[in-house]
């Protein structure tokens, strides 16, 4: 029993070490914080920008490129549903290609973003909070409605839920497949509730989940952390 307890303490200590190193290298800010999206209130602009960022991170680019592309779009005053609808898919796609997105991804994301803006304005007055109310704050129904109105896959919906859980408490705790896969490879907890237990609060949890997504794009850092976890 004593040996088992010591083994458990040793494993917990190693997990704490890995989480500490992970957060120090990749978890200073969440994606939404890095993109300077306002997280204080569930405003229509903040939620639509979270959707934009989610669409951008669900692509074959590293998260840093996704954040920079989002900042570029917002800098062009394409940070609301109305502005994106007015800009149109062709202009948005051109900016994304200039930011380093493959042509197929830039066209797909631009189309999803502009279609979502149009349907959001027509069906929900431009406010994702109305979608949330229509779903009765049920996470499963929220996901279904997001897929339906935006015409996007689970990857984009997952990326939205990662960030929006700070504003929509019914989503907490949420970690997507990308984050959970990295957590398993680092011998951390294998579900969202377990990962939440490793940090102090909800904001830090989102930073942890985003750090797990980030580390997948850093082969050397990922290898070092996996060696630390072994």
What residue segments make up the domains of the chain, in order of their start?
Answer: 33-153
When pLDDT is averaged across residues 170-180 and rounded to a whole number, the result is: 97
Instruction: Report whether pLDDT(139) > 50.
Output: yes
The Cα–Cα gap between 171 and 46 comes to: 17
Which among 73, 75, 94, 95 has a CA at the least distance from the CA of 84? 73
In terms of CATH, what superfamily is 33-153? Hypothetical protein; domain 2 (1.10.340.30)
Question: Could you report the per-residue pLDDT of 176-191, keeping only the tens digit for each?
Answer: 999 999 999 999 999 9
Instruction: Report whether pLDDT(10) > 80.
Output: no
Alpha-helical segments (H) within 2-153: 2-26, 31-34, 44-57, 63-75, 81-87, 89-99, 103-124, 128-134, 139-150
Instruction: Report whether pLDDT(74) > 50.
Output: yes
Which among 140, 142, 113 has a CA at the least distance from the CA of 128? 142
């Amino acid at each position: 029993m004593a040996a088992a307890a010591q083994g458990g303490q040793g494993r917990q200590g190693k997990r704490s070490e890995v989480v500490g190193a992970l957060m120090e290298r990749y978890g200073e800010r969440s994606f939404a914080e890095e993109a300077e999206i306002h997280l204080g209130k569930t405003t229509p602009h903040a939620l639509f920008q979270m959707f934009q960022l989610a669409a951008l991170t669900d692509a074959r680019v590293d998260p840093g490129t996704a954040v920079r592309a989002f900042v570029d779009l917002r800098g062009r005053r394409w940070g609301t549903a109305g502005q994106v609808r007015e800009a149109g898919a062709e202009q948005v796609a051109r900016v994304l290609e200039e930011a380093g997105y493959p042509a197929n991804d830039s066209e797909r994301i631009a189309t999803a973003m502009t279609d979502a803006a149009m349907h959001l304005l027509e069906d929900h007055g431009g406010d994702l909070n109305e979608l949330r109310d229509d779903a009765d704050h049920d996470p499963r129904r929220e996901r279904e409605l997001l897929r339906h109105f935006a015409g996007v896959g689970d990857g984009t919906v997952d990326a939205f839920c990662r960030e929006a859980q700070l504003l929509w408490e019914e989503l907490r705790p949420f970690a997507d497949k990308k984050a959970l896969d990295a957590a398993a490879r680092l011998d951390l907890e294998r579900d969202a509730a377990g990962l939440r237990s490793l940090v102090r609060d909800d904001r830090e949890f989102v930073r942890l989940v985003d750090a797990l997504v980030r580390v997948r794009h850093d082969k050397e850092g990922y290898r070092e952390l996996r060696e630390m976890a072994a």
